[in-house]
Amino acid sequence: MYGLVLEGGGAKGSYHMGVYKAILEEGIEIKAIAGTSIGALNGAMIVQGDYELGLELWNNISYTDIIQANEEEIDRIINSKLKLEDLKHLSKKLLSLISDRGFDISPFKQMIQKYLDEEKIRNSPIDFGVVTVNITDFAPIEVFVEDIPNGSVGDYLLASAYLPIFKLERLGGKLYLDGGFYDNLPFKLLQKKGYNDLILVRTHAKGLIRKPPNSGNVIIISPSRDIGRSYICDRDKVKENINMGYYDALKIFRGLKGNLYYIKPKVEEYYIRYLLDLSEERIKQILKELNINAPPTKRVLFEYIIPKIGSLMGLKEDFSYEELLIALLEKKAKMLKVEEFQIYSFEDLLEEVRTVEPPEEENVDNVKSIEKFLEKVDLSKYFNKEASILEIANIIFMNEL
């Protein structure tokens, strides 16, 4: 049985939902959840047994679910599509916002009332804790649901996510602030209740983070790629983040390999054998690519070529043959735009790399833009290195010469 800790992070919180999907599939029992801000809100949906409803909410989220605003206006601002008349209109809006002392979050409060069920939360077998900051009394609030007054769970969830840009409102006569300003990853809240087996789900959002515990069984699940900004509600990004959370979690739970892809593990001997099977002709081509003047023997391959490739790719000095071959294969797969969110065996990904059609060439305008950029910045060393790595990957992985 584990305690689940969900870091705050606004729109980044969609990542939590993918992680929890993997937790469900793996049959991992969660006995307690603690969260801050969006982590508390997602946690509440899970605790009350409405994960699927929470998933539906995320897949349809928009700015108008959070603040009283015009969706098209926000889209133009976020995507920098403002015209002169837009700027004039925006300046009036900002003046209005300042005079009103923040954004009207009536939609956010209505959403909490609609989707959160206090009775279900209180009757759940899962312990549930949230974090907020009482700025009236200058005191952090770390509280479990049984210590929250009846009828006030929604208020505490709102308080946990209350940002300074929101219009000032009193909850129970007091002012509150987003719990991320005190503890954005509140694992200590669960530790105090006796939970030492923890799953910590990161979003890397701004906020105060305590050093993860050294004792107990602690699993940290962290985004493998960029999950966007806290304040940008983009539905395509939400779906990508849910996918990412799901596969990142499976990677941890199942011991999958890779940095960019999700690859089933194999014994090290498999990768040693793969390298030993490289023909003399392939070794000769790699030597030429690396400008190494040596005979194309297996000894040269293991003593000179492999360390050189590892250094070229920035791998740690003690890298394994598995890490080397997977990193090379991922580099090639990424260039070919092979689907990332899928579990592969090494052979499966190799087959994809060998059969997928290369992406279309960049259009002329894009090429000219890059050329102008390169005139100002010397990136030749970087591009030469990348080209060499890809060429070595071609030699090692492509069909028989």
Q: With 70 as the cut, is the pLDDT of residue 62 above it?
A: yes
Q: Which stretch, 292-301, 364-373, 383-392, has highest mean pLDDT?
A: 292-301
Binning pLDDT at 50, 70 and 90, where does residue 44 land? very high
User: Which listed residue (14, 37, 160, 230) is catalytic?
Assistant: 37
The top-level CATH class assigned to 2-254 is: alpha beta
d(CA 236, CA 240): 6
CA distances from 209 to 6, 8, 39, 132, 365 (A): 12, 10, 14, 14, 44
Q: Note the pLDDT of residue 281.
A: 95
β-partners of residue 103 are 166
Q: Which amino acid is at 169?
A: E
Binning pLDDT at 50, 70 and 90, where does residue 229 land? confident
d(CA 45, CA 246): 17
β-partners of residue 128 are 33
Query: Per residue in 277-318, pLDDT tens?
Result: 999 999 999 999 999 999 999 999 999 999 999 999 999 999
Query: Across residues 53-59, what is the average pLDDT?
Result: 92
Instruction: Report the predicted TM-score, pTM, of the whole model to 2 decimal places.
Output: 0.85
d(CA 345, CA 148): 49
Q: 394: which 2 tokens? A: 């071609």
Percent of the chain topping pLDDT 90: 66
Residue 224: phi and psi, rounded to 5, are -85, -15
Binning pLDDT at 50, 70 and 90, where does residue 60 land? confident
Query: Per residue in 121-136, pLDDT tens?
Result: 999 999 999 999 998 8
Using CA atoms in the order 341, 344, 349, 351, what is the torsion angle rounded to 10 degrees?
A: -120
Q: With 80 as the cut, is the pLDDT of residue 239 above it?
A: yes
H or E stretch covering 2 = strand 2-6
Query: Across residues 74-98, what is the average pLDDT?
Result: 46
Q: Note the pLDDT of residue 365.
A: 54
Q: With 90 as the cut, is the pLDDT of residue 49 above it?
A: yes
Q: Which residue has the higher pLDDT, 168 or 62?
A: 62
Q: With 60 as the cut, is the pLDDT of residue 95 above it?
A: no
The CA angle 315-320-326, to the nearest 5 degrees, is 75
Determine which of 34-38, 213-217, 363-367 has the lowest per-residue pLDDT on average.
Answer: 363-367
* 91 flagged as catalytic: no
Q: Which amino acid is at 171?
A: L
Query: Across residues 331-352, what is the average pLDDT?
Result: 96
Query: Per residue in 197-207, pLDDT tens?
Result: 999 999 999 88
β-partners of residue 166 are 103
Q: How many CB atoms lie within 10 A of CB 377?
A: 8
β-partners of residue 220 are 200
Q: Note the pLDDT of residue 154.
A: 93
Query: Across residues 230-258, what is the average pLDDT?
Result: 93
* 178 flagged as catalytic: yes
Using the structure block, give the residue that is written with the tokens 């499976």.
250
Binning pLDDT at 50, 70 and 90, where does residue 369 land? low
Q: Note the pLDDT of residue 106.
A: 80
Q: Note the pLDDT of residue 99.
A: 45
Percent of the chain topping pLDDT 70: 82
Q: Where in the chain is the domain with CATH 3.40.1090?
A: 2-254
Binning pLDDT at 50, 70 and 90, where does residue 50 land? very high
d(CA 123, CA 112): 18
Q: Note the pLDDT of residue 38.
A: 94
Q: Note the pLDDT of residue 84.
A: 45
Q: Note the pLDDT of residue 81.
A: 47
Q: With 70 as the cut, is the pLDDT of residue 82 above it?
A: no
Q: With 70 as the cut, is the pLDDT of residue 261 above it?
A: yes
Q: Which residue has the higher pLDDT, 81 or 127?
A: 127
Average pLDDT, the chain: 86
Coil, strand or helix at 218: strand
User: Which listed residue (50, 117, 127, 178) is catalytic?
Assistant: 178
